[in-house]
Structure 1
Amino acid sequence: MRYGLYYPSIEFRDVDFLKKSLLVWDRVFRIVPPSYKPNDDSAISEAVAEGLVVDLNVDDYEKSKAAHGFLDFYHVRKSSGNLTWPAGLDSPTFVRIDPEKIEARLLPLFEQLAKQVTGDRFLQVPPDLAGGYMFYLANSVAKQRDLQLITDSPDTWVVGSYFAHAGNFSEQVYQENGDAFLCNLAITDLLPDELHEVSMDDILRFVEKHRDERAAFQDELERFRMELSRCNNKQHAHYIVSDFVHRLKRAKEDYRKAIGPFSKRELCSIFSGGLSATLSVLSLPTIGGGDPYDPVRLCSGVLLGGVSALATRSMIPVDKGGASYLISLDRLSTTPSWQLHRTFEEFIND
């Protein structure tokens, strides 16, 4: 089974996002402090009651692991001359973060950065910095519990991807001749663009009925993501194109047939995930061959494109950045990697 961990907030911004997420993941978890009661509408409460949305309390080990990671990252970014500290981390706007989610050694840093404490004890901190810490916290929970990170915000996905790849970025987001890249693998023809007319009960019934087709799609997607991330030569890239792309396409088409009755229109929401890939893969004629940032159609409904150059190949994490996915609530572009590239550029240099 594949489980998703929603971050960085507690409440879902949109019920449709949760419905779409349940078409991909068997359960969706979220981090909720013990003293906080989520403000859920009736549809989300129904999913909670059925056990498909699960509230997680973060234990001391997970808080400590997140605090260590965040403080180490913060120190290295401030002392390094080779890697950039994103301009987006100095955002002047603020959001709330619950002190119960913060490990004791990290709390003084957030209290120092906080402009105020609200009446219900939430700290007001810069959103990208809060998102950075929440990514570390979510990443710690995800690794310990074998969860995949999911979000509905391109901005959050960009911040999360920055931290997932250990801040391995310079100011040169666009670097045509770089040797490794953060990429976006987008599936554009699977999830319906609108589900507001579909009841949560229908979604829950579908989840149970089509468990096998969903599992087959999940497995092929993760296998394909990892194969692309590990590949560093053109010969193996040919193998990926001839074998893994075909298997992913077949699993996607089988699952799309099951989802079909939910689709009232031809438009679909964009479902995408981040991965690292080398220039040897992106420059392969059967994959790209030109600008690594130009989105390339690997097969029907599957696009691959560069989002940002990585500063150095040697800093690519062992887990290749982990599995972090974005389900876009708005179909703003048919080339999502370009949209995310622009968002990433603004985050680093704006």
Structure 2
Amino acid sequence: MASIALYYPWMHFQDTDWLKLSLLSWERIVRLRPRTVGDRDSEVVREIRGESDLLQEITPSRHDLETVADAFFELLGHEDLVWELNALHLGAADLTLGVSEDLFPPLSQRMTETGHHPALLWIYCGGTGTKMSYLLRHQLIEAGLAVQVDRRDPWIGLQPRLGTVYLTALADTVARHNALSPVTDDPRMHQAVGALDRLADLLDLPVTPALQDTRAAYAHLSLRAVIRPERIAAVPVSRLVAFRQRYAPELAAFHAHIDSLATELEQIAAVENAEIAQAHLQTLYERTTKPQLDELRRGLRAFGVESTLSMLGLKVDLGAVSGTALGTLAVSGGHPAMGAGAVALTVVPYMAGRLKARQQQRTDSPVAYLLAAEQMSKRSRLGFPI
């Protein structure tokens, strides 16, 4: 599982809670957003940008653009497909004929400048950070599949179905060339993985809800199992950033755990019904990850050292230490002969050993990250530090 995600198809995130979960799921999230494009990010996104290195903005390489363009040039040779995509309509309004409003771009992605039809999907084609090769842009305009306000305008408008397929294929290509995992917070989008190889199929079918990258979906499902939705919404960005930094090794171990489920996740990726696919993910979680998480909880309790939410006190299992000097001290009721020096010689080494063993068990567990996330969300709700 790649530790860096590629957000698609939009330049601005749509779901703040999804992004917060992603902050806990990925080491970094990359998005294709030219620096010259106006900032429409929410305050939460701006806060994340300011307090962490989670978000990184890149532009497609020339190799990326040429790879996608070659695939679309091949499609343009099929006259029946071009006809279905309104090839004979040259007006912006005509390009949206027969397209459901459900497919229109979200509000944060719509153009508001004069001449830019709000229902079209506008793709940036400026000199710096362009998302489409010059030759493909020219071909699409000539075929009547795209419109441009004027030659100086850095944007071209596409029918939403064609535009989302293009951006999905671009995400697939950039992800392949850079070892990234495509992820999205828009359930209407096609699955990006493998999109470049099935363009004709995607264009022939309407955009429908689909389960995206099953590994990313599994990470989110696991986190939602330990963090209630209302809690993630209430957790400040600064707390999430601090948690990411503190538990980076545990996150890497959790990624390795998800990698170990690759065979099952690949089978779920082939499921066509989104609800059934989600049910398969839930079953996989309850069969594999949840038992390990429950076992970790039991194992930590067995050491006789339990952390309260605030980590302000320690509880010692007297049964576990019977026969030791510490056990004798406890049984005797704290006889005066057992002074502070004796306590230091017995309690401190015992507690140190227990804490070390406890920490080792957490370190060895591939799901320790989930337990830490659960505790973090509870402490955050109560106002305690991480």
TM-score, length of structure 2 as denominator length: 0.52
2:370 to 256, 259, 280: 256
Higher relative contact order (CA 8 A, sep 6+): 1
Q: C-alpha distance in 2, partners of 1:101/1:172?
A: 24
Counterpart residue number, 1:147: 180
* Identity among equivalent pairs (%): 24
Secondary structure of the residue aligned to 2:11 is coil
Q: C-alpha distance in 2, partners of 1:136/1:172?
A: 15
Secondary structure of the residue aligned to 2:234 is coil
Counterpart residue number, 1:117: 149
Contact 1:70–1:136 (8 Å) recurs in 2: no
Counterpart residue number, 2:66: 64
Counterpart residue number, 2:195: 163
Counterpart residue number, 2:261: 224
Structure 1: gaps of 5 or more residues: 174-181, 232-240, 265-350
Cα displacement (A) at 1:183: 9.2
Contact 2:31–2:58 (8 Å) recurs in 1: yes
Q: 1:77 to 1:56 in 2, by over 3 A?
A: farther
Residues 1:108 and 2:116 aligned together: no
Counterpart residue number, 2:120: 94
Cα displacement (A) at 1:109: 3.8
Secondary structure of the residue aligned to 2:157 is strand
Contact 1:220–1:248 (8 Å) recurs in 2: no
2:3 corresponds to which letter in structure 1? R
Alignment of 1:132-211 (within 5 A): 132-156=165-189, 158=190, 160=192, 163=195, 166=198, 185=214, 187=218, 188-191=221-224, 192=227, 193-194=229-230, 195-211=232-248
Q: C-alpha distance in 2, partners of 1:94/1:138?
A: 19
Higher helix fraction (1 or 2): 2
Which aligned runs of 4 or more in structure 1 are off by greater than 6 angstroms? 170-173
Contact 2:14–2:186 (8 Å) recurs in 1: no
Q: 1:89 to 1:68 in 2, by over 3 A?
A: farther
Q: C-alpha distance in 2, partners of 1:117/1:189?
A: 46
Q: 1:43 to 1:114 in 2, by over 3 A?
A: same
Structure 2: gaps of 5 or more residues: 86-95, 101-118, 269-282, 294-365, 379-386
Q: 1:228 to 1:55 in 2, by over 3 A?
A: closer
Q: 1:223 to 1:109 in 2, by over 3 A?
A: farther
Q: 1:121 to 1:184 in 2, by over 3 A?
A: closer
Cα displacement (A) at 1:197: 1.8
2:165 corresponds to which letter in structure 1? G
CA distances 1:108-133 after superposition (whole Å, capped 9, x unpaired): 24433235539964322222211111
Q: C-alpha distance in 2, partners of 1:135/1:72?
A: 17
Q: C-alpha distance in 2, partners of 1:159/1:89?
A: 25
Secondary structure of the residue aligned to 1:11 is coil
Q: C-alpha distance in 2, partners of 1:57/1:164?
A: 18
Residues 1:52 and 2:54 aligned together: yes
Counterpart residue number, 1:333: none
Cα displacement (A) at 1:222: 3.3
2:223 corresponds to which letter in structure 1? L
Higher strand fraction (1 or 2): 1
Q: 1:172 to 1:48 in 2, by over 3 A?
A: closer
When Rg is computed on C-alpha atoms for both structures, the one with the higher figure is 2
Q: 1:115 to 1:37 in 2, by over 3 A?
A: closer
Q: 1:154 to 1:164 in 2, by over 3 A?
A: farther
